[in-house]
Amino acid sequence: MSEKFTVRDFFKRFPDDDACLQHVMEVRFGARHVCAACGVESTFHRIAKRKAYACAACGAHLYPCAGTIFQDSRTSLQTWFYVIFLFVTTRHGVSGKEIERTVGVTYKTAWRMGQQIRQLMEKADGFDLMRGHVELDEAYVGGHRPGKRGRGAAGKTIVMGMKERGGRMSAEVIPNIKKATLREVTLRNVEPGSIVSTDELMSYGLLDGDGFKHGTVKHGAKEFAYYDYRHDATHHTNNVESFWWLFKRSIASTHIHVSQKYMNRYLAEFTFRSNYRQMRNAMFDLLIGAV
Ligand SMILES: [Zn+2]
């Protein structure tokens, strides 16, 4: 199947709950696998009227949804699958209202489903250090109103974005923009020796003692990129800035207000999509099989 994953494709692959359950089984256990009860590499057949399969060798029952977000949910598997499909295929994020409208569940259920899917996306984020050339840029997001401009705007959450050029995007809430905080976030996420591009907030000297090849773009002086002969690298933070641009617009248009408490989850939703953009089927299966 191509990486295009249309609504038509979706309903062809998942016409009903049985097809969805079969997919959970395949993603989590595969067609043949070693039975946990008898130790035989066995096939498993569906048990009628139960969300379970039975081992062909010993008859032991296996519930493929055990431990997933589908377990014990009164929402049908196909509805869950469709909401996950929305998360995978959207560009701007999925609001509780949209889930409520599209699949016909209550707003409360819709909101909970969205949060559970975001939690899976948060967990799926890797812990590998970023290396090579990494862009760092902070932003202020999620206030009620545009409010004051510039740093320290009221009601906003401060977030730090990191993008490995040609690689992964990562983002997290930070408590403040003190020197020690910025340095700690960098040390925790970026491998020493990497080239790091930041704006002037990460002032000269902040990262130099830690072995980074650090370049600062002076946004205040309308400088947006420069070539660094010492490290043979072009310093700019355009990739992180585009991420923030999309994130802010999407939050404003679909969620209106996101509290600080949930901000990391929304960030994870967007970095997850950004990191798997070319692999929608992989993204989908990763969420289906997550426990
Ligand atoms: Zn068995």
- H/E element holding 141? strand 133-141
Compute the distance from residue 59 Cα to the ligand 1 centre, in Å.
6
Compute the distance from residue 21 Cα to the ligand 1 centre, in Å.
20
Compute the distance from residue 63 Cα to the ligand 1 centre, in Å.
13
Backbone angles phi, psi at 160, to 5 degrees: -115, 130
Compute the distance from residue 245 Cα to the ligand 1 centre, in Å.
52
Q: Nearest-CA neighbor of 117 among 79, 69, 74?
A: 69
Give the residue extent of every domain in the chain: 133-258
pLDDT in tens, the chain (291 residues): 346 789 999 999 999 999 999 999 999 998 788 999 999 999 999 999 999 999 999 999 999 999 999 999 999 999 999 999 999 998 888 999 999 999 999 999 999 999 999 999 888 876 788 999 999 999 998 865 554 444 455 678 999 999 999 999 999 999 998 888 988 999 999 998 899 999 888 765 677 778 888 888 888 777 888 888 888 899 999 999 999 999 999 888 887 678 888 899 999 999 998 888 778 888 899 899 888
Q: What kind of architecture, by CATH, is found in domain 133-258?
A: 2-Layer Sandwich (3.30)
Tokens of 253: 């248009």
Compute the distance from residue 196 Cα to the ligand 1 centre, in Å.
53
Compute the distance from residue 48 Cα to the ligand 1 centre, in Å.
18
Q: Please state at what angle helix 96-103 crosses helix 77-89, rounded to 10 degrees.
A: 130
Work out whether strand 233-235 and strand 226-228 pair parallel, antiparallel, or are unpaired: antiparallel
Cα distances (Å, whole numbers) of residue 222 to 5, 214, 219, 229: 41, 19, 5, 21
Give the separation between CA 245 and CA 239, rounded to whole angstroms. 10
Compute the distance from residue 239 Cα to the ligand 1 centre, in Å.
51
Residue 186 half-sphere exposure toward CB, CA atoms < 13 A: 30
